[in-house]
Amino acid sequence: MKFYTNDFSPNCRRVEAVLYHLGLHDGVETHRLNLAAGEHMSDEMRTANPNMKVPTLVIADMKLWEANPMMIYLCDRAGAEAFCPSDLNSRFEILRWMSWEVQHYNRALGEVIWETIVKPSFDMGEPDQAKIDAGLENYRRFAAVLNDRLSGRNYILGDKVTVTDFAVGAPSAFALHPQSQIPLQDYPNVEAWYQRLESLPAWSKTAPPRPAAEAAE
């Protein structure tokens, strides 16, 4: 397997964490790309993924891209039934939360993180407070849903971590950063869940480099 990734991408982190969690990482040829230098625009990347984006996983003649289906493929390939249940009800619950995080929760979170963390970290201009406020309004709507879901649960599907948590929790390091302006104090179940994720071995191994997480301090 060849894995094309970037250390600062939450989407890449979720896939790499799955590789660690399933014990597959040592068998993967990992290519860490410098996106700022345009390393993702190579002919090799175009062949692997016509979008020239990371994460991308190449397994023999199969070329996988988009993080969430990539994660499910890896789990099914490894027979990780406890981590990614295949019964109909559980699988559609996983897919529902994965769709929700892409369309709603992490989309709103990403709008805020872009302005408060990414732009200052990479000298991309001053944060736009109007965009931050709009993102936070959206975030609050969906964070309330997640906070309610986590009431009385350690993880999204119950007491054990699943691939669902790796998907929804992908930006955890940035959400927890004090410069992010994410009001986690208003959503204590979400904050505690993020901290539980950060303590997992597979998750801690894939934390973004400290300079990226602290550049705005």
Sheet holding 29-32, edge to edge: 29-32, 2-5, 56-59, 62-65
pTM: 0.93
pLDDT of residue 118: 87
Average pLDDT over residues 99-128: 91
Domain ranges of the chain: 2-78, 88-214
pLDDT of residue 13: 97
Secondary structure of 95-126 in HEC code, one letter for each residue: HHHHHHHHHHHHHHHHHHHHHHHHHHHCCCCC
pLDDT of residue 210: 62
Mean pLDDT of the chain: 93
Contact 5, 54 (CB under 8 A): yes
> Residue 213: pLDDT above 80?
no
The three-class DSSP label of residue 32 is strand
pLDDT tens figures, 125-144: 888 999 999 999 999 999 99
2-78: CATH number: 3.40.30.10
Q: β-pairing, 29-32 with 2-5?
A: parallel
Sign of the C-alpha dihedral computed for residues 12, 18, 21 and 22 taken in this order: negative
88-214: CATH number: 1.20.1050.10
Ramachandran assignment for 79, one of left (phi > 0), alpha (psi -120 to 50 degrees), beta (any other): left
pLDDT of residue 37: 87
